[in-house]
Structure 1
Amino acid sequence: MLGEHPHALRLGEYLHYRWTGEAPAERVTDDPSTWCPFWDWDPAVLARNLELLGRAGRRDALSVLARLVNHPDERVRSWVVLALREDGTVAQWAHALSYLGDPREDTAPVLDALTRGVELDRIEEVAKHILAMESPPLVALKWAAAQVGEAFPADETATDLARLRPQLVEVSEPIEEPFSDTHPYSRAAALTPARAKELVENPTQETSWFVLARASKLCRVPIWSLAPEAHWKPPAVPREPAEPLALPAINLVRPRQIGPDGPVVSPLGVSGHYGLPVEGYVRAAEQGVNLFFWEPNYATLTRFMTRLSPADRRGVHVLVGTFEADPVKIRKDVERALRNMKLERISIFLIFWTQSWQRITPDVRSELDRLKADGLVQVYGLSTHNRGIARDAIIEGWNPVMVRHSAAHRKAETEVLPFACERGTSVLTFNNTCYGRLLDPSFRPSDCFRYTLNTPGVSACFTAPSNLEYLEENLNALRNPELADEVRERLLKRGEWMYREDTVFRKTVRSEV
C-alpha cells in the first residue's frame, strides 16, 4: 500500500492514470505567497528580497525560511542556510530538516551546507531535540539517529531511542557489511581519550577528518583549530597553447535581424549546453551558422571562441544572459562573458528565466541601457517561460524576446507570437525538442526545428547537439526548411500526447503538497 502521505497519494493518482488513461481530479496546490510575505516566483527576486531583509529580518522570519531550505535555486538556499547557522534555534533546525525528505530531490548538498563545520555540541543539541519530539518527521529522525554514537553516546538518549524504535525501523538503512579495522569509522569508534589527545596535538598523524572530528569532540576543542594554516595546492601544470582556428566566410541562409539595430544572424543557432566538440562549431559556421548560445560552463564553446582571430570573432554573434537581478552583478556577468570569450561586444544579451516583473526594476533597466551605451551590448531583451510576461514585454517594447515553443508547447502561437508579428518584435525560441522527449521515429529530429521556424513570428531558434552526428541532422533544418504537411501532422500528434503526459506528471508526481 502507498499509505496516506500526500506524495504517495499523488503517485497513486499518476499510476492510476498510466493504467486507465483517466486524468486525475484537480487538487488545490500550495501557493507560497499565502505563507511567505517576501515570496516571488523569480528566484533572483526572491534571493534579492532575502538579502534586503538583513540578518535581523531573516532571524525573525526563520519559521518561514525553514520551508525554503530546499528551494531549487542555490542563491535562495544559501540565505536560508546562513540564517539557520547564524540564528536558528534547535526547533527551527528541526523544522528545516523536516523539509529535506522529498525523495524527488537531492537533499545531500543542502544538509552538508547546513551542518559542515558546525560544532558537535550544536549538532548534539539539535539531534537530541528531534529525538525528544513525540512524533518527529521521518527525515529529521533519520538524520538525528545518524548522530547517535557520533556526536554523543547512545546511552544518553536510550529512552527516546526505545520509544522511537518502530519509526527508526522505517527509516533505517539496509544492513551493510561491517567496516574493516582500517576504515575511518572503525578508527573513530576505537579512539581512546589518550589517542584523541595525540591527534589533537599532532593532526598530521591522521588522514581522515571524520576521525579528527571525533578526536576534537572527545578533547572538547573546536575542529577548525586542527586545520593547517597553509592550504595544500596541486603543483601548476603548464598548458599547451591551443592552435588558432580560421573560419571560412560564413554564407548566411535566410538571414534575419534580431532586435532594433541588432545583429543579422542565421535562423538556426547552436548552443554549447551539451559540450559539442570544437570542430562542431566550425562545421556549423561552414554550413551558414553565425549565432551561438553561451553560458559560463560551456567549455567547448568558450575554447572555440578564444581560438578564433579577432576578425573571425567579429563575424559571429553570441547570445549571453544573466540570472541576476542586481545591476552590479549583471554588469559583472557581461564583463565575464566578454573576458572569457575575448569579445569586444555581446551581440544579444538577455535577462534569463524572467518569472516576475519585479526582476526588472528601474535600476536594472537603466543598467541595460548603460551597457548598450557603453558599447558592451549590441541589443538586449529577456527570456521567459511565462507567456504573459513575454506578451507584456513585447507590448512594452522589449526586443528581442525569447520563449519556449515546440509542437508540444504551442500556446505561444496564440498568446505571444501574434503580438510579435504586429509590432515587428524578434522572437527567439528554445526547447524545441523538449530536451529530446518530443522525438519519435515517425519524423526526423530536424523537423522539430522546422516546425518552430515555419511558425509566423519566430525569428530564430537554437539547437544544442552533443556530437557531430546530431549537429548534422539538425543543420538539415537550415538547408531544407520546408515541413511537409503529413510530417507536421505526425509531429503535432506526438506533441499533443507529450503535453498530456507532462501535464498529468506535473500535477501528480511533481506536485508540491
Structure 2
Amino acid sequence: MARLAHLLQSGAMDALLELVEPPWTAELLDAIAEQFATASVREAARTLDLAGQCASTSAEGRAALIRLAEVGLASTAPSVRSAALQALLAAESFEKGAAHYFEEPSWKVRADLIDGLELAMGAANPLARAALDDPHWRTRERAIQALAQRVPAPDPDGLSDGTDPRTRGAVAYLRNLTDETPDFAYRDESSPEDSSWGLSGRDPALVHKHLEELRPDEARALLDAMPAMLAHEHEGVRAWALKRLLQWGTPEHCVRCVELLADPRVPFVAELVETLTTRLDEDRRVAAAKRILDGGYGPRVQRWAERVLGQVAPSIVADSAPPSPQVTARLLTQVQEAAERLAREARTSATGGPMPDCEPDSPMPDCEPDSPMPDCEPDSPMPDCEPDSPSPDCEPDSPTGVSQRPPQRPLGNTGLLLSPLALSGHYGLPELGFRRGLEAGINTFFWEPNYSTLIRFFRDLTPEHRRQTEVVAGTFHADAKRVRADAERALRSLHLEQLGVYLLFWVRDAARLEPLLPTLQALQREGKVKTYGFSTHQRALALEHVQSQAPWPTLMLRHNGAHRGAEAEVFPTIKAAGCGLLTFSALCYSRMLERPHPAAPAPPDAAECYRYSMQQPGVTSTMSAPRSIDELGAGLRALRAGPLEPERVAQLQEFGDAVLARNRAFAECVRWR
C-alpha cells in the first residue's frame, strides 16, 4: 500500500489503473480514495470509469467506489463531478445523487443527472419536477422532456402554484407537449427581465463596452443594479460590477450579493461573492453579516454571516477553501504528464513498440471542456453548436480512404478552401475523433479557449498537418484591445501562425460591427487571420452587412430544417456578393431528431440534417459538435452520402415546420424565462 500511495501521489493513477485488471479490490479502491482526496490526483483521474466499475464490482468494492465518488463530487472540474454522479447512480445511491443537484453549479452536470435519474428511477425521479425552476433553460428543458415521456403523463396543473415564472412557463410548455392536439400559441404575461439596465443595445458585449464608457457619476447611478450584474452572462459585465461594488457598495449591497448564494445552481455567483466579501473592508463585511443574522435569511446566507462573525471555527473554513487555480493547474499538468509517460512506457513494454492510436487522454486540467468560458455566455458560450444524436454504428478504426474525401469548397472570394463539414470541440470530442475527421477529409475546425481535446489535437499535429487545416475562432468582446487579445490567444493555444476565419461571435446589435472593422482588417494585414466576419441569428442584420458598400467577407448563420428563412432571404444575396457562408445549428439543438409532439411525422437522422444544410447553394461549411466517436459517424456519413433526394428534402422540411412551431413556444415559455 505504501508503494501504491507513492505511485498515486506521483501522478501515475491513470497508468496504474490501465495495468490493474478490473474488477478492483476494495483494498485498492480504499487506497485510491485516500489519495483521490488531494486536488492533484482528483483532477488527474477524469477518465476513471467509476460507473462501469460500480456495475461490475463486488458489494465491498462498490462501497469503496461510492466513497471515491463522494470525494469526486468536491472536484472543481465538472467532468469529474459528472463521472462521480454517474457512479453513484450505477451503485443505486440515488438519494445522494439527487441531493447533489441543488449544490451543482454546472447546468450540463445537472441536466445529465436528471437524465440518469430518469433512466434509473422513472416516475420516481424527484428532480424532473424540482428542476422546473432551474436557472438554466437547458436544464429545465431536460426536466420537461423527462416529464413529457412518462406514461401516463403527469397532470400539469399539479406541477406549479403559478408564482414562479420559470415553472409557470415550463408547465405551459409541457401541457402542449403532452396534448394530442398541441396549441403552440401560448404567451406568458410576464416579460423576460431586462439585463441592459437602460443602456443601448441588447448585445452583451455592447452592454459591457457601454458600462466601461460611463462616467463615474453615471456608473454610480447603477449601483443598485450591480448585485444582479454578478449573474450576468458576460464575464466583462460581472467583472465591471464586482470592481465597483468593492469601491462603492454599502453593507446593504453586500447583503444583496450574499443573497445570491441561496441558489448554488446560479453560475459564477459563489466565486464572485467570495471574492467580493473577502476583499471588502472589515466594517462593511461585518455590518452586512449582522444584518443577515438579524433578518431571517436562508441557511446558506446565514452560514456566510456566521463565518464572517467568527461563529465558525477558522480551521474549518480554511480546510474548505479551494486551492489556488494557478497552483492546481500546475500540479495537474505535472500529474497528467507523469501518467502519460508511465502509460507509454507500459504499452511499449507490453507490445514492443508505441501504439499510435491509443485512447485519447483525459481533458487538460486547466482547460476543462464543460467549464464556462471566461469571456462568453455562461455554461453555453456558443449557441452555434449542439451535440449530435448517438449514431447506431460508429466509424471503423481504420482511416477513411483518400478516394472518399469530399472536395473542399471555396469560402466566397476569401481564397480559403474548407471542408463541407466542420468539427467543433464544444462537447469534448476525443482527440481520436478529430484525427478521424482529418483522415476523412475534414480540414475545418471550430475552436474556443475551453476546447481542451481540440487544443491537444492541434498541439500533437506536425507543422505540415497544421498548415493543411483551417481554424474558425472568434471573440465575444466589443472593444478593439480584447478582440486582438483573443485572436492572439488562439494562435498561442493552438501553436498556429495564422487563423483561417476570425469571427465576432453572436452579434445581436449592428452597433458592435463597424467600430471593430479596423481591428479585424489590421489582424488580416499582419497575417494573423486569413479572413474575418461575424456570426448571428439575425437574418436582417446579416443581409444589411452583405449589401453594404464594404461587405463583410464571411458570415456564420443559423440554418436547419426548422429555421429555413435564410434560404430565400439571405443565402442568394451572400452568394452573389462573393461572401463566404458558414452555417451552424444543423440539428436545432437536437430538436430535429425528436418528434415535437406525438402527431408529428418521423424525424430525420443527424446525417440527413447535415446533408440538408451542406447542400444549400452558397454554403461552404456546416458546423457539427459531436460528443463521441459514435456521434462523429453521423457527420462522416453525411460527407460521403451527398445531397438529399427532393422527396426526402420535402419530408425534412415538413418535419422542420412542426419543430419550428414548437420552438417559438419554447422560446417564449422556457428559453427566455
The two structures have a TM-score, normalised by structure 1, of: 0.74
Shift of 1:498: 2.8
8 A Cα contact 2:491 2:499, kept in partner: yes
In structure 2, which of residues 309, 312, 318 is the aligned counterpart of residue 209 of structure 1?
Answer: 318
8 A Cα contact 1:260 1:379, kept in partner: no
Q: Which amino acid aligns with 2:572?
A: P
Match of 1:51 in 2: 212
In structure 2, which of residues 521, 530, 534 is the aligned counterpart of residue 378 of structure 1?
Answer: 530
Task: Answer yes or no: is 1:369 the counterpart of 2:369.
Answer: no
Q: Which amino acid aligns with 1:42?
A: D
Task: Answer yes or no: is 1:422 the counterpart of 2:576.
Answer: yes
In structure 1, which of residues 268, 287, 290 is the aligned counterpart of residue 421 of structure 2?
Answer: 268
Give me the whole-angstrom Cα distance separating, in 1, the residues matched to 2:553 and 2:422: 18
Segments of structure 2 that go 5 or more residues without pairing to the other structure are 1-159, 345-353, 358-398, 595-601
In structure 1, which of residues 104, 115, 118 is the aligned counterpart of residue 277 of structure 2?
Answer: 115
Give me the whole-angstrom Cα distance separating, in 2, the residues matched to 1:458 and 1:93: 51
Give me the whole-angstrom Cα distance separating, in 1, the residues matched to 2:355 and 2:513: 40
Task: Answer yes or no: is 1:488 the counterpart of 2:640.
Answer: no
SS in 1 for 2:518: helix
In structure 2, which of residues 191, 195, 220 is the aligned counterpart of residue 29 of structure 1?
Answer: 191
Give me the whole-angstrom Cα distance separating, in 2, the residues matched to 1:475 and 1:3: 47
Structure 1 residues 13 and 354: alpha-carbon distance in aligned structure 2, compared to 1, 3 A threshold: same
Match of 1:404 in 2: 558
In structure 2, which of residues 455, 473, 477 is the aligned counterpart of residue 324 of structure 1?
Answer: 477
Match of 1:431 in 2: 585
Give me the whole-angstrom Cα distance separating, in 2, the residues matched to 1:266 and 1:368: 24
Task: Answer yes or no: is 1:351 the counterpart of 2:504.
Answer: yes
In structure 2, which of residues 624, 632, 636 is the aligned counterpart of residue 475 of structure 1?
Answer: 636
Give me the whole-angstrom Cα distance separating, in 2, the residues matched to 1:294 and 1:57: 37
Give me the whole-angstrom Cα distance separating, in 1, the residues matched to 2:200 and 2:237: 11
Q: Which amino acid aligns with 2:287?
A: E
Give me the whole-angstrom Cα distance separating, in 2, the residues matched to 1:94 and 1:378: 49
The two structures have a TM-score, normalised by structure 2, of: 0.58
Give me the whole-angstrom Cα distance separating, in 2, the residues matched to 1:386 and 1:77: 26
Shift of 1:141: 5.5
Q: Which amino acid aligns with 1:209?
A: A
Match of 2:127 in 1: none
8 A Cα contact 1:405 1:431, kept in partner: yes
SS in 2 for 1:51: helix
Give me the whole-angstrom Cα distance separating, in 2, the residues matched to 1:324 and 1:245: 39
The size of the alignment, in residue pairs, is 442
Q: Which amino acid aligns with 1:358?
A: A
Shift of 1:405: 0.7
8 A Cα contact 1:124 1:147, kept in partner: no
Deviates more, 1:456-465 or 1:61-70: 61-70
Mark the structure with the bigger radius of gyration. 1
SS in 1 for 2:521: helix
In structure 2, which of residues 242, 250, 270 is the aligned counterpart of residue 89 of structure 1?
Answer: 250
Between 1 and 2, higher relative CO (CA 8 Å, sep ≥ 6) is seen in 2
Give me the whole-angstrom Cα distance separating, in 2, the residues matched to 1:274 and 1:45: 27
Give me the whole-angstrom Cα distance separating, in 1, the residues matched to 2:474 and 2:294: 49
8 A Cα contact 1:276 1:468, kept in partner: yes
Match of 2:627 in 1: 466
In structure 1, which of residues 47, 64, 70 is the aligned counterpart of residue 225 of structure 2?
Answer: 64
Match of 1:160 in 2: none
Shift of 1:382: 0.9
SS in 1 for 2:533: strand
8 A Cα contact 1:50 1:58, kept in partner: yes
In structure 2, which of residues 407, 410, 432 is the aligned counterpart of residue 257 of structure 1?
Answer: 410
SS in 2 for 1:63: helix
In structure 2, which of residues 145, 167, 172 is the aligned counterpart of residue 13 of structure 1?
Answer: 172
Give me the whole-angstrom Cα distance separating, in 2, the residues matched to 1:306 and 1:211: 36
Task: Answer yes or no: is 1:281 the counterpart of 2:434.
Answer: yes
Structure 1 residues 109 and 419: alpha-carbon distance in aligned structure 2, compared to 1, 3 A threshold: farther
Give me the whole-angstrom Cα distance separating, in 1, the residues matched to 2:262 and 2:200: 22
Shift of 1:310: 2.0
Identity of aligned residues (%): 32
8 A Cα contact 1:121 1:151, kept in partner: no
Alpha-carbon deviations, 1:203-262, whole Å to 9, x = none? xxx4742799xxxxxxxxxxxxxx99x989749566678999999997752321114233
Q: Which amino acid aligns with 1:349?
A: Y
Give me the whole-angstrom Cα distance separating, in 1, the residues matched to 2:637 and 2:193: 44
Shift of 1:352: 1.3
Deviates more, 1:22-31 or 1:95-104: 95-104
Deviates more, 1:329-338 or 1:112-121: 112-121
Q: Which amino acid aligns with 2:578?
A: G
Segments of structure 1 that go 5 or more residues without pairing to the other structure are 154-187, 197-205, 213-226
8 A Cα contact 2:410 2:416, kept in partner: yes
Shift of 1:299: 2.1
Q: Which amino acid aligns with 2:574?
A: A
Give me the whole-angstrom Cα distance separating, in 1, the residues matched to 2:178 and 2:649: 29
Give me the whole-angstrom Cα distance separating, in 1, the residues matched to 2:474 and 2:320: 45
Structure 1 residues 128 and 17: alpha-carbon distance in aligned structure 2, compared to 1, 3 A threshold: farther
Which protein is richer in helix relative to its size?
Answer: 2
Match of 1:163 in 2: none
SS in 2 for 1:79: helix
